[in-house]
Amino acid sequence: MRRQLRSRRAPAFPYGYRHRLDDQDEVNQNYLADEEEEAEEEAQVMVVPNLVEEDEEEKEEEKEEKKEEEESQDQPAGNAWWWKLKIMSEYLWDPERRMFLARTGQSWSLILVIYFFFYASLAAVITLCMYTLFLTISPYMPTFTERMKPPGVMIRPFAHSLNFNFNVSEPDTWQHYVISLNGFLQGYNDSLQEEMNVDCPPGQYFIQDGDEDEDKKACQFKRSFLKNCSGLEDPTFGYSTGQPCILLKMNRIVGFRPELGDPVKVSCKVQRGDENDIRSINYYPESASFDLRYYPYYGKLTHVNYTSPLVAMHFTDVVKNQAVPVQCQLKGRGNINDVINDRFMGRVIFTLNIET
Amino acid sequence: MGLSSTRAAELLARDGPNALSPPKQTPEIIKFLKQMVGGFSILLWIGAFLCWIAYGIQYSNNMSSSLDSVYLGAVLVLVVILTGIFAYYQEAKSTNIMSSFSKMIPQQALVIRDSEKKILPAEQLVVGDIVEIKGGDQIPADIRVLSCQGCRVDNSSLTGESEPQSRSSEFTHENPLETKNICFYSTTCLEGTATGMVINTGDRTVIGHIASLASGVGNEKTPIAIEIEHFVHIVAGVAISIGVLFFIIAVSMKYHVLDSIIFLIGIIVANVPEGLLATVTVTLSLTAKRMAKKNCLVKNLEAVETLGSTSIICSDKTGTLTQNRMTVAHLWFDHQIFMADTSENQSNQVFDQSSGTWASLSKVITLCNRAEFKPGQESVPIMKKVVVGDASETALLKFSEVILGDVMQIRKRNRKVAEIPFNSTNKFQLSIHETEDPGDRRFLLVMKGAPERILERCSTIMVHGQEQPLDESAAQAFHTAYMELGGLGERVLGFCHLYLPADKFPETYVFDTDAMNFPTSNLCFVGLLSMIDPPRSTVPDAVTKCRGAGIKVIMVTGDHPITAKAIAKSVGIISANSETVEDIANRLNIAVEQVNKWDAKAAVVTGMELKDMSPDQLDEILATYSEIVFARTSPQQKLIIVEGCQRQDAVVAVTGDGVNDSPALKKADIGIAMGIAGSDAAKNAADMVLLDDNFASIVTGVEEGRLIFDNLKKTIAYTLTKNIAELCPFLIYIIVGLPLPIGTITILFIDLGTDIIPSIALAYEKAESDIMNRKPRHKKKDRLVNMPLAVYSYLHIGLMQALGAFLVYFTVYAQEGFLPSSLINLRVEWEKDDVNDLEDSYGQEWTRYQRQYLEWTGYTAFFVGIMVQQIADLIIRKTRRNSIFQQGLFRNKVIWVGIASQIIIALILCYGLGSVTALSFTTLRPQYWFVAVPHAILIWVYDEMRKLFIRLYPGSWWDKNMYY
């Protein structure tokens, strides 16, 4: 009995469409039935079938098939649109159609209410889950950091490509590097650093015990540490003389300490080609290393004023008018700098093409 | 004289071999290509080409662009080709089962050529050949009889007439089918011999015409094919419209057109259940295998389900409903009708065997019988022994063998001294025996034959072993019994005997059967015995089951209406309390015309009546009566009946065995040919072959078909669910700008990896309730994929799954440093190759590759999240209405195999292939596998609730909208 009720129930499609479909099917079926009757008559008479006639019939069948194919090609589009519309309308719009379809007098608003409650409770569930997730996650210390070690390396000025092409005599070609560097170094201004950060003893980790949520102090890294590359003496960072400064920084990682108190050093050389294309590089600070006192990093929530240490490379004598590929690597115990997939892990590769 | 070999060779070259050309086969390559472009394949092809176009554009802009989209396109094409090959292989495998059937034993023919008798393969016959045939031979071609001796042929496979037809050399009718001087190809010669000339060979024979007619009847789409098409349209429609919608949204959100195309591909891939059609094929072939075990051999995989949606079965009588052998059904002696056991082994004969009359009757039955068992069958059960003799005599022989024991010994002890075999003028058979009692020197004359003829020759009747004069009342009792047995549609035989007085017929007396020098009248009537081709014992149950399942069973037979009706009544096709118009007229003693035909539930329609009916009238009959028997119909009329049923919007199953049935078999939604009795033409035209010719096997088929429909629903619901979980990431990626939660390749790994075995496992699910208690599905209303199924899968479980998977994704990102809030609109920066110091929520900086790796970890996490919840989805899909605990969590072991496979595949992808970055899987921390588990449990609980409300409030709003 229940079955019967079910089968009489609203079909899965909007009414108008369903009727159209049914009619079509019926027409097709009638057509086929007629054809069958013809065939049947032939069978009864048992005459030798006329081959030509049969061919014609076959052709007709083919035509019909094509027609059907066309129809069925029309159908899916219409089909899908209706269907999709229904899905969307279920909880978005077009309540009228739904009302029209509802056979038990239950209305669109009931569906709306039920879906509202359903999705509200789903939202509650996901909120609860996210809340639980946040409970397990410390805002000060990421749960896992292994994937980031060893740290990546990035250079400034930041250009969209790592090709430094400029013409010394055309300031337009290098002006944007200068602006970029100047902007980047604003946070390193001596006055700012002295005001915000402490001067901590070099050569050892600046470990600050205490509660996680306690604000941490940051070590000063003054712009003036960069000497010729600080932009203080030479506001063009050497670009106007064809001796560009490039700043190198190591990606921050919470809790990262260079292994066994061995500061990370930077070393640059020609990546491919003649070693002598770069005849001299000056590093600032002169140690060409990131001092241990800048580590560990405690995360941006508590270590607010932390400024990443920098190493400036001053390419004082580079072959001009030709592209020189340069690779700067981090050297030090535990440093990996030759991963093929990641060309920014522990190293950075860029080209200098200084035209005069 | 015959033809000369050279002339014959010429003719053979001209006309071709004398064999039916096999039905036109679709070339294999076409079949293969169809698999390549059918269903979702076309969408995937589009996706692949879009990939390559995207790469082309990228390449023209930037020579060093990554090959990712080329790979993706290649993978998509590979998926299409692999699933295509798989589906093709499955199809081919099921076709192969059939082709083993058509291997026939080469037929031989005795031909006169070059004035010599030669035995040639029948294939080499040509027009003009003179052939000789004898009893038992199959007619090798259409031949005109030149001369014959007592030749009778069985034309039943051609015309449906079950009576043997005599042949002669006279031309008797204009119509070749009616005239007596033509024997038809593939019919059998039952007895006698004949010489004839070949007039038609191969496809030009009458059988050939019918066979070609059958192949001309177009194959219509099976219901399941229509359903699957419908489903493909729905999914493709959703995929394309969401794809295009978001393409437009993406473009209007100022995404690059190129990126938008990539999104489009992602959406298509996420939406298309790539593995589903292959799964459906496997599911169907599994069921086909299961059905083959139950003696239903399915030729066309899709026919598996057709049987399940069948609403009318037009069944043959002989062989399908009945045992196809005459069996003693009733006995009448001592003025009483006794019933005999007509079951297949007849082991339970319960009638009273103590009467003296029975002793005499059994002696007559045993002795007055020419049938004999073929020698060398000592170990074969009696019922299966091969007998030489006609159907009635065989029945009597087996009957007496069962009751009396070794009949041959009895006959030996009662030596036969004379015999007159049955002939149509006498209508009796007589034999004279010595008796086994050595003290009794009398001869015993036994006779059997048409009851009225036997009675004429009798003057006494035996009652309780005593001879009594055959008076008026005894004759009246005889007539009543005769009418009653005849009314049951049974063939009645009378038996009488006479002990010849020893003085007149001494031991040395020579009996002359031509001169009839012995008495043939004033005999003693012993009893009546009636025979019928009894229904198979499993059939009444099966018919009841069909009725319970809302399937109308119509009997279509060439047999006599009375016999047909009797069998229909005994198997329940006409139920015990329903009457035909004629029955009512008889009961009320009024004219047939006066009966209100709405009072009658049953109808017996003969072929003659059918001939004069218009289609409308036939429709009316089919619609009015619930129990219909068509008797005396020709196979051609079967086609008309099938068409009539199909006009009622019914899915019609037709059984048939004759060549002439093949158009009807082809026309039916599912044609069922008989494996034993069926001709090859019928088997070729049918979609299914019943190996045991048993109607009950059809019912098991129906059951399997319905089960597979239900289970396919479950499979599709299971498969569709995760589509939302795969789709949502793309939509959110486009709109909210999160780093991509799941990659296209990863989606393919779900669709074609972890989900395949579980979705097949659902095919092994047992029925939830008695599926044979519900009506057949309405082919236009009860769709495979209906609104509630789609809505529930997409908007309920699918969304819950998506949330669960997102939770895993967020957990991974948050624990690595990117809190959810920081992910919003991160997409652009995230995907920039030159940003190698992207800051996360903790102020840490990430290189592009580190982010990429994290993204892959995200893919893996999302994948694992979906996989874990798909386990719950699999479990909830076991039932649609019942609680999982009612169904039994462990009854379907294959489900657990499926779950295990899911987990193992995921483990391999995660930990086995962690280093293969092309697949974008990474080694996931073990704890992430459990993040989605609460969601999985939630899905289970929610679905249990849904089912609980459906069970509690049948017919309610909830039931209507949540039951799929």
Single out the residue of A7, A156, A107 nearest to residue B783, CA to CA.
A7
Per-residue pLDDT for A49 more than 60? no
Residue B219 pLDDT: 63
User: What tokens does B507 get?
Assistant: 């031991």
Question: Over the stretch B636-652, which tens digit does the pLDDT of each residue have?
Answer: 788 889 989 998 888 99
3 state DSSP class of B605: strand
Mean pLDDT for back-to-back runs of 10 residues, chain B (964 residues): 83 83 73 80 87 85 73 88 85 64 62 85 86 82 86 73 74 80 83 86 80 65 85 86 88 84 84 84 86 84 86 85 85 88 76 84 89 82 80 86 85 87 79 84 89 90 88 89 87 90 84 83 90 87 90 88 88 87 84 79 88 89 90 81 89 82 84 81 82 85 90 92 91 90 89 90 87 84 87 92 94 92 90 86 90 91 94 93 87 92 92 70 90 94 93 86 85
Return d(Cα A26, Cα B779) in angstroms, integer.
Answer: 13
User: What tokens does B350 get?
Assistant: 């319960």
3 state DSSP class of B144: strand
Residue B941 pLDDT: 94
Ramachandran angles phi, psi of B321, nearest 5°: -90, -30
Is the CB of A251 less than 8 angstroms away from the CB of B845? yes
Provide the whole-model pTM.
0.79
Return d(Cα B408, Cα A225) in angstroms, integer.
Answer: 125
Is B721-962 in the same CATH topology as B105-216?
A: no
Neighbours of A349 (CB within 10 A): 16
Neighbours of B92 (CB within 10 A): 12
Q: What percent of chain A clears pLDDT 90, i.e. is strictly above it?
A: 10
Q: Which residue has the higher pLDDT, A39 or B482?
A: B482
Is the CB of A251 less than 8 angstroms away from the CB of B836? yes
Which positions 95-124 of A are in contact with B (Cβ < 8 Å)?
Answer: 104, 106, 110-111, 115, 118-119, 122
Q: Parse chain B into domains and list their residue ranges.
A: 105-216, 296-322+536-693, 327-532, 721-962
Query: What ipTM describes this predicted complex?
Result: 0.74
Q: Which CATH number describes the domain made up of B105-216?
A: 2.70.150.10
Single out the residue of B267, B179, B282 nearest to residue B712, CA to CA.
B282
Scanning the structure block, which residue is given the tokens 């009945």? B322
Scanning the structure block, which residue is given the tokens 């770069």? A278
Is the CB of B845 less than 8 angstroms away from the CB of A22? no
Would you say B823 and B955 are in contact if contact means Cβ atoms under 8 Å apart?
A: no
Return d(Cα B457, Cα B447) in angstroms, integer.
Answer: 10
As a whole number of angstroms, the longest Cα–Cα distance in chain B is 133
Nearest neighbour of A22 by CB, restricted to B780, B788, B961:
B780
Is the CB of B850 less than 8 angstroms away from the CB of A142? no
Note whether A15 contacts B: Cβ–Cβ < 8 A.
no
Single out the residue of B626, B642, B765 nearest to residue B709, CA to CA.
B765
Q: Which residue has the higher pLDDT, B596 or A28?
A: B596
Residue B503 pLDDT: 83
Neighbours of A329 (CB within 10 A): 19
Residue B862 pLDDT: 95
Residue B949 pLDDT: 92
Return d(Cα B942, Cα B384) in angstroms, integer.
Answer: 59
Burial class of residue B24 in the structure, from the number of CB atoms within 10 Å of its CB (0-12 exposed, 13-18 middle, 19+ buried): exposed
Mode of pairing for the β-strands spanning B428-434 and B443-449: antiparallel
Per-residue pLDDT for A38 more than 50? no
Would you say B752 and B79 are in contact if contact means Cβ atoms under 8 Å apart?
A: yes
Q: Which helix (H) or strand (E) holds B690?
A: strand B688-690
Return d(Cα B373, Cα B383) in angstroms, integer.
Answer: 11
Would you say B294 and B701 are in contact if contact means Cβ atoms under 8 Å apart?
A: yes
A/B interface, count of CB pairs below 8 Å = 230
Query: Residue A247's pLDDT band (boundaries 50, 70, 90)?
Result: very high
Could you tell me how far CA A69 lies from the centroid of its own chain? 43
Torsion angle of the four alpha carbons A200, A202, A203, A207, in this order, in degrees rounded to the nearest 10: 10
Per-residue pLDDT for A27 more than 70? no
Would you say A60 and A54 are in contact if contact means Cβ atoms under 8 Å apart?
A: no
Return d(Cα A353, Cα A325) in angstroms, integer.
Answer: 9
Closest residue of A to B237, CA-based?
A80
Residue B424 pLDDT: 67
Query: Residue A15's pLDDT band (boundaries 50, 70, 90)?
Result: very low
Note whether B204 contacts A: Cβ–Cβ < 8 A.
yes
Is the CB of A76 less than 8 angstroms away from the CB of B233? yes
Buried b (16+ CB within 10 A) or exposed e, B413-430: ebeebbbbebeeeeebbb
Q: Which residue has the higher pLDDT, A12 or A277?
A: A277
Nearest neighbour of A344 by CB, restricted to B217, B240, B848:
B848
Average pLDDT over residues A107-114: 78
Is the CB of A33 less than 8 angstroms away from the CB of B213? no
Buried b (16+ CB within 10 A) or exposed e, A22-58: eeeeeeeeeebbebbeebbebbeeeeebeeeeeeebe
Residue B204 pLDDT: 85
Q: Which residue has the higher pLDDT, A1 or A266?
A: A266
- Sign, CA dihedral B347-B353-B357-B362, equals positive
List the beta bridge partners of residue A165: A353
Superfamily of domain B721-962: Calcium-transporting ATPase, transmembrane domain (1.20.1110.10)
Residue A80 pLDDT: 64
Per-residue pLDDT for A3 more than 60? no
Which positions ≥6 away from B715 have C-beta within 8 Å? B276, B279, B280, B283, B759, B760, B762, B763, B877
Scanning the structure block, which residue is given the tokens 């007159």? B420
Is the CB of A49 less than 8 angstroms away from the CB of B233? no
Residue B761 pLDDT: 92
Return d(Cα B7, Cα B14) in angstroms, integer.
Answer: 11
Q: Between 2.60.120.960, 2.60.40.1120, 3.40.1110.10, 3.40.50.150, what CATH number should domain B327-532 receive?
A: 3.40.1110.10
Average pLDDT over residues A296-306: 88
Note whether A69 contacts B: Cβ–Cβ < 8 A.
no
* Chain A residues close to B177, C-beta within 8 Å: 46
Mutate: best of A6, A37, A55, partner B, most B CBs <10 A: A6
Mode of pairing for the β-strands spanning B523-532 and A153-156: unpaired
Residue B371 pLDDT: 85
Q: Between 3.40.50.1000, 3.90.280.10, 3.40.800.10, 2.60.120.10, what CATH number should domain B296-322+536-693 receive?
A: 3.40.50.1000
Q: What is the mean pLDDT of chain A?
A: 74
Nearest neighbour of B177 by CB, restricted to A46, A115, A345:
A46
Q: How far is CA B370 from CA B106, B384, B448, B497, B936, in A?
A: 33, 18, 12, 17, 76
Distance from the Cα of A26 to chain B's closest Cα (Å) equals 9
Residue A68 pLDDT: 41
User: What tokens does B906 get?
Assistant: 């995921």
| Half-sphere exposure in the Cβ direction for A313 (13 Å, CA) | 28
